[in-house]
Amino acid sequence: MKETVRIDNQLLRAMNGDAWHGPALFELLQGITAEQAQQYSIEGVHNVWELVLHITTWQKVTIKRLSGENYEPNDKDNWPDSIDYSTQNWEHAMEELYRTYQSLREKILHFPESELDSPVTGQHYTFYVLLHGLIQHNLYHAGQIALLRKKLK
């Protein structure tokens, strides 16, 4: 089996389910309303909506880096300081998260396996580390969402 297929499988499990650790990101987000997503239920912690936007941003960053771009998100993209909280915008945020996830999977599956050990343009790590790092990043924030979900009203 190709290593890119294995990496894609790990992303699939982390995001969609059948993950070893427990609920995957999309399972955790299922049923969360716009009203709930904007709640700051733990002091000093980002809300679910901010985490979804942040995860989406880093999936986009990874897609750009896999395409050879030396891309770094700005502060506003990384952690938006102003969000228009509405049901329509929450639905859009969820759709964008899923769309970027699907684009990333496609990019991974078409990425030349021979390039996995090559350095990412402008970074001090390889594409292999980038992809595994993104999966770890998404799981880290999924864990935060799991805790926030328990506190939602």
List CB contacts of 128: < 8 A, sequence separation 6 or more.
3, 7, 116, 117
Specify the CATH class of 3-151 in words: mainly alpha
CA-CA distance, 51 to 66, in Å (whole number)?
22
Taking only the tens place, the pLDDT of each residue in 101-140 is: 999 999 999 999 999 999 999 999 999 999 999 999 999 9
Residue 81 has a pLDDT of: 84
Q: How far apart are CA 13 and CA 138, in angstroms?
A: 11
* pLDDT for position 20: 84
